[in-house]
Protein backbone atom coordinates (compact mmCIF):
# COMPACT_ATOMS: atom_id res chain seq x y z
CA UNK A 1 0.00 0.00 0.00
CA UNK A 2 1.29 3.42 -0.97
CA UNK A 3 1.12 5.58 2.17
CA UNK A 4 0.96 8.94 0.41
CA UNK A 5 -2.21 10.67 1.72
CA UNK A 6 -3.40 7.46 3.35
CA UNK A 7 -5.04 7.69 6.78
CA UNK A 8 -3.41 5.70 9.59
CA UNK A 9 -5.01 5.16 13.02
CA UNK A 10 -2.40 4.75 15.77
CA UNK A 11 -3.42 3.76 19.29
CA UNK A 12 -0.91 4.86 21.90
CA UNK A 13 0.07 7.44 19.30
CA UNK A 14 0.79 10.32 21.66
CA UNK A 15 4.04 8.96 23.09
CA UNK A 16 6.84 6.43 22.72
CA UNK A 17 6.92 4.11 19.72
CA UNK A 18 3.45 5.11 18.56
CA UNK A 19 4.36 8.80 18.47
CA UNK A 20 7.66 8.09 16.71
CA UNK A 21 5.79 6.12 14.06
CA UNK A 22 3.28 8.92 13.60
CA UNK A 23 6.14 11.38 12.99
CA UNK A 24 7.81 9.06 10.47
CA UNK A 25 4.61 8.37 8.54
CA UNK A 26 3.77 12.05 8.19
CA UNK A 27 7.25 13.43 7.60
CA UNK A 28 8.73 10.65 5.47
CA UNK A 29 5.71 9.06 3.78
CA UNK A 30 3.17 11.85 3.44
CA UNK A 31 0.48 9.99 5.38
CA UNK A 32 -2.27 11.39 7.61
CA UNK A 33 -2.38 10.10 11.19
CA UNK A 34 -5.15 9.85 13.76
CA UNK A 35 -3.79 9.43 17.28
CA UNK A 36 -5.86 7.53 19.85
CA UNK A 37 -4.51 7.91 23.36
CA UNK A 38 -5.45 8.80 26.94
CA UNK A 39 -2.80 11.52 27.26
CA UNK A 40 -4.62 14.58 25.96
CA UNK A 41 -1.79 17.06 26.53
CA UNK A 42 0.76 14.91 24.69
CA UNK A 43 -1.72 14.23 21.91
CA UNK A 44 -2.35 17.90 21.29
CA UNK A 45 1.39 18.65 21.35
CA UNK A 46 1.97 15.97 18.72
CA UNK A 47 -0.76 17.38 16.48
CA UNK A 48 0.73 20.86 16.84
CA UNK A 49 4.12 19.45 15.81
CA UNK A 50 2.82 17.53 12.79
CA UNK A 51 0.21 20.07 11.72
CA UNK A 52 -3.56 19.96 11.87
CA UNK A 53 -3.81 19.09 8.18
CA UNK A 54 -1.80 15.92 8.75
CA UNK A 55 -2.76 14.77 12.25
CA UNK A 56 -5.68 14.62 14.65
CA UNK A 57 -5.96 13.50 18.27
CA UNK A 58 -8.83 11.66 19.95
CA UNK A 59 -8.91 10.85 23.65
CA UNK A 60 -9.92 7.19 23.68
CA UNK A 61 -9.94 4.38 26.21
CA UNK A 62 -9.52 1.33 23.95
CA UNK A 63 -11.47 -0.82 26.43
CA UNK A 64 -14.63 1.27 25.87
CA UNK A 65 -16.37 0.32 22.61
CA UNK A 66 -18.43 3.50 22.39
CA UNK A 67 -15.31 5.67 22.61
CA UNK A 68 -13.60 3.67 19.88
CA UNK A 69 -16.66 3.88 17.59
CA UNK A 70 -17.04 7.62 18.14
CA UNK A 71 -13.38 8.29 17.40
CA UNK A 72 -13.31 6.17 14.23
CA UNK A 73 -16.47 7.82 12.92
CA UNK A 74 -14.93 11.23 13.62
CA UNK A 75 -11.75 10.23 11.79
CA UNK A 76 -13.71 9.23 8.69
CA UNK A 77 -15.69 12.44 8.95
CA UNK A 78 -12.46 14.44 8.96
CA UNK A 79 -10.17 12.50 6.62
CA UNK A 80 -12.64 10.47 4.57
CA UNK A 81 -11.43 6.93 5.28
CA UNK A 82 -9.20 4.68 7.38
CA UNK A 83 -6.54 2.78 5.44
CA UNK A 84 -4.21 1.42 8.13
CA UNK A 85 -4.37 0.68 11.84
CA UNK A 86 -1.33 0.41 14.13
CA UNK A 87 -2.23 -0.81 17.61
CA UNK A 88 0.53 0.31 19.97
CA UNK A 89 -1.47 1.06 23.13
CA UNK A 90 -0.55 -1.15 26.05
CA UNK A 91 0.58 -1.39 29.67
CA UNK A 92 3.22 -3.63 31.31
CA UNK A 93 1.74 -3.97 34.85
CA UNK A 94 4.21 -6.50 36.32
CA UNK A 95 3.11 -8.90 39.04
CA UNK A 96 3.99 -12.40 40.22
CA UNK A 97 1.74 -15.44 40.38
CA UNK A 98 2.51 -15.77 44.08
CA UNK A 99 3.05 -12.87 46.47
CA UNK A 100 5.73 -12.66 49.18
CA UNK A 101 3.57 -14.77 51.49
CA UNK A 102 3.11 -17.45 48.84
CA UNK A 103 -0.52 -16.50 48.18
CA UNK A 104 -1.95 -16.56 44.67
CA UNK A 105 -2.18 -13.21 42.96
CA UNK A 106 -5.63 -11.69 42.63
CA UNK A 107 -7.15 -11.50 39.16
CA UNK A 108 -7.53 -7.73 38.99
CA UNK A 109 -4.07 -7.00 37.56
CA UNK A 110 -4.24 -9.90 35.10
CA UNK A 111 -7.66 -8.74 33.89
CA UNK A 112 -6.44 -5.16 33.53
CA UNK A 113 -3.43 -5.95 31.37
CA UNK A 114 -5.31 -8.41 29.16
CA UNK A 115 -8.25 -6.02 28.85
CA UNK A 116 -6.06 -3.24 27.48
CA UNK A 117 -3.32 -5.13 25.63
CA UNK A 118 -5.46 -7.80 23.99
CA UNK A 119 -9.19 -7.12 24.24
CA UNK A 120 -8.76 -3.38 23.63
CA UNK A 121 -6.49 -4.12 20.68
CA UNK A 122 -9.03 -6.58 19.25
CA UNK A 123 -11.79 -3.99 19.61
CA UNK A 124 -9.90 -1.35 17.66
CA UNK A 125 -8.67 -3.70 14.93
CA UNK A 126 -12.12 -5.21 14.39
CA UNK A 127 -13.82 -1.84 14.19
CA UNK A 128 -11.13 -0.50 11.86
CA UNK A 129 -11.48 -3.59 9.68
CA UNK A 130 -15.24 -2.99 9.45
CA UNK A 131 -14.62 0.49 8.08
CA UNK A 132 -11.69 -0.54 5.87
CA UNK A 133 -13.89 -3.12 4.16
CA UNK A 134 -15.92 -0.24 2.71
CA UNK A 135 -12.88 1.36 1.03
CA UNK A 136 -12.41 1.20 -2.71
CA UNK A 137 -9.58 -1.29 -3.40
CA UNK A 138 -6.31 0.10 -4.72
CA UNK A 139 -4.53 -1.16 -7.84
CA UNK A 140 -3.38 -4.26 -5.90
CA UNK A 141 -6.81 -4.96 -4.49
CA UNK A 142 -5.95 -3.69 -1.01
CA UNK A 143 -8.45 -1.94 1.21
CA UNK A 144 -6.52 -1.81 4.48
CA UNK A 145 -3.63 -2.99 6.65
CA UNK A 146 -3.52 -3.77 10.37
CA UNK A 147 -0.26 -3.83 12.36
CA UNK A 148 -0.53 -5.03 15.95
CA UNK A 149 2.29 -4.39 18.40
CA UNK A 150 3.31 -7.43 20.40
CA UNK A 151 6.55 -7.87 22.38
CA UNK A 152 9.55 -10.13 22.76
CA UNK A 153 7.89 -11.03 26.07
CA UNK A 154 5.37 -13.04 24.05
CA UNK A 155 8.18 -15.56 23.49
CA UNK A 156 10.53 -15.20 26.49
CA UNK A 157 8.63 -13.50 29.27
CA UNK A 158 10.54 -12.51 32.37
CA UNK A 159 9.52 -13.32 35.94
CA UNK A 160 6.61 -11.06 36.82
CA UNK A 161 5.38 -10.82 33.21
CA UNK A 162 2.72 -13.54 33.17
CA UNK A 163 -0.09 -11.12 32.39
CA UNK A 164 1.93 -9.05 29.93
CA UNK A 165 3.39 -12.07 28.14
CA UNK A 166 0.02 -13.78 27.90
CA UNK A 167 -1.57 -10.67 26.41
CA UNK A 168 1.21 -10.21 23.85
CA UNK A 169 1.19 -13.89 22.86
CA UNK A 170 -2.52 -13.43 22.24
CA UNK A 171 -1.74 -10.52 19.93
CA UNK A 172 0.46 -12.78 17.79
CA UNK A 173 -2.25 -15.43 17.84
CA UNK A 174 -4.65 -13.04 16.12
CA UNK A 175 -2.50 -12.84 12.99
CA UNK A 176 -3.36 -15.98 11.08
CA UNK A 177 -7.12 -16.32 11.69
CA UNK A 178 -7.63 -12.59 11.10
CA UNK A 179 -5.46 -12.61 7.96
CA UNK A 180 -7.39 -15.59 6.59
CA UNK A 181 -10.75 -14.00 7.33
CA UNK A 182 -9.96 -10.49 6.13
CA UNK A 183 -7.72 -11.40 3.19
CA UNK A 184 -10.62 -11.83 0.74
CA UNK A 185 -11.69 -8.29 1.68
CA UNK A 186 -8.27 -6.90 0.79
CA UNK A 187 -7.13 -6.38 4.39
CA UNK A 188 -3.81 -7.71 5.73
CA UNK A 189 -2.87 -8.35 9.39
CA UNK A 190 0.64 -8.64 10.88
CA UNK A 191 2.35 -7.95 14.18
CA UNK A 192 5.72 -6.68 15.40
CA UNK A 193 7.38 -8.06 18.53
CA UNK A 194 9.89 -5.37 19.53
CA UNK A 195 12.73 -5.95 21.95
CA UNK A 196 14.44 -3.19 23.92
CA UNK A 197 13.96 0.26 22.44
CA UNK A 198 15.28 3.63 23.56
CA UNK A 199 11.89 5.12 24.35
CA UNK A 200 11.60 8.25 26.52
CA UNK A 201 10.58 6.00 29.43
CA UNK A 202 13.73 3.86 29.06
CA UNK A 203 15.94 6.91 28.59
CA UNK A 204 14.65 8.34 31.88
CA UNK A 205 15.95 5.35 33.85
CA UNK A 206 19.12 5.39 35.90
CA UNK A 207 22.17 5.04 33.59
CA UNK A 208 23.20 1.83 35.38
CA UNK A 209 19.78 0.33 34.67
CA UNK A 210 20.12 1.36 31.03
CA UNK A 211 23.53 -0.29 30.87
CA UNK A 212 22.12 -3.53 32.29
CA UNK A 213 19.35 -3.51 29.69
CA UNK A 214 21.76 -2.81 26.85
CA UNK A 215 23.94 -5.70 28.02
CA UNK A 216 21.05 -8.06 27.20
CA UNK A 217 21.03 -6.95 23.55
CA UNK A 218 22.88 -9.37 21.30
CA UNK A 219 23.91 -7.73 18.02
CA UNK A 220 24.01 -4.83 17.51
CA UNK A 221 24.91 -4.24 21.17
CA UNK A 222 22.48 -1.38 21.72
CA UNK A 223 18.83 -0.65 22.17
CA UNK A 224 16.69 -0.12 19.12
CA UNK A 225 16.15 3.37 17.74
CA UNK A 226 12.64 4.75 17.47
CA UNK A 227 12.95 5.27 13.71
CA UNK A 228 13.88 1.61 13.24
CA UNK A 229 10.56 0.63 14.78
CA UNK A 230 8.69 3.12 12.60
CA UNK A 231 10.43 1.71 9.53
CA UNK A 232 9.26 -1.81 10.45
CA UNK A 233 5.66 -0.61 10.73
CA UNK A 234 6.02 1.11 7.37
CA UNK A 235 7.40 -2.05 5.77
CA UNK A 236 4.42 -4.09 6.90
CA UNK A 237 2.03 -1.54 5.46
CA UNK A 238 3.85 -1.04 2.17
CA UNK A 239 4.76 -4.67 1.36
CA UNK A 240 1.62 -6.29 -0.01
CA UNK A 241 2.99 -9.82 0.36
CA UNK A 242 3.45 -9.61 4.13
CA UNK A 243 0.44 -11.17 5.82
CA UNK A 244 -0.40 -13.23 8.89
CA UNK A 245 3.09 -13.02 10.41
CA UNK A 246 5.04 -11.67 13.38
CA UNK A 247 8.31 -9.80 12.90
CA UNK A 248 10.73 -9.99 15.83
CA UNK A 249 12.54 -6.66 15.93
CA UNK A 250 15.05 -7.28 18.69
CA UNK A 251 18.69 -7.56 17.54
CA UNK A 252 18.62 -11.34 18.17
CA UNK A 253 18.03 -10.63 21.86
CA UNK A 254 16.66 -13.25 24.24
CA UNK A 255 15.52 -11.71 27.50
CA UNK A 256 16.84 -13.26 30.70
CA UNK A 257 14.52 -14.55 33.42
CA UNK A 258 14.97 -11.32 35.40
By the 8 A CB rule, do 196 and 250 touch?
yes
pLDDT per residue of the chain (258 residues) written in tens, 0 to 9: 999 999 999 999 999 999 999 999 999 999 999 999 999 999 999 999 999 999 999 999 999 999 999 999 999 999 999 999 999 999 999 999 999 999 999 999 999 999 999 999 999 999 999 999 999 999 999 999 999 999 999 999 999 999 999 999 999 999 999 999 999 999 999 999 999 998 877 887 788 888 888 998 999 999 999 999 999 999 999 999 999 999 999 999 988 898
Per CATH, the homologous superfamily of domain 7-197+225-249 is NAD(P)-binding Rossmann-like Domain (3.40.50.720)
Number of H helices, E strands in the chain: 9, 7
**Which residues fall within 8 angstroms of residue 121, CB to CB, at 6 or more apart?**
11, 62, 87, 89, 90, 148, 171, 174
241 counts as catalytic:
no
Q: Which of 164, 178, 188, 191 is catalytic?
A: 164
Separation of alpha carbons 235 and 247, rounded Å: 11
Taking the complete model, does pTM exceed 0.85, yes or no?
A: yes
Closest by CA to 125, choosing from 86, 170, 71, 77, is 86
| DSSP E strand stretches across 39-182 | 55-59, 84-87, 144-149
Q: Sketch the domain layout of the chain as residue ranges.
A: 7-197+225-249
Amino acid sequence: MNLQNKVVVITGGASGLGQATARFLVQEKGAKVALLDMNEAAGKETVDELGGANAAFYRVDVTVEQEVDSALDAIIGRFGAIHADINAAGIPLPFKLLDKEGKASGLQKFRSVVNINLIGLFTVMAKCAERMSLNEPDEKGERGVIVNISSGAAFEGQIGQCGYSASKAGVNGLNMPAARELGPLGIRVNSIAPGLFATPMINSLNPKVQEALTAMCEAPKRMGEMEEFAMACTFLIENSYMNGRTIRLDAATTMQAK
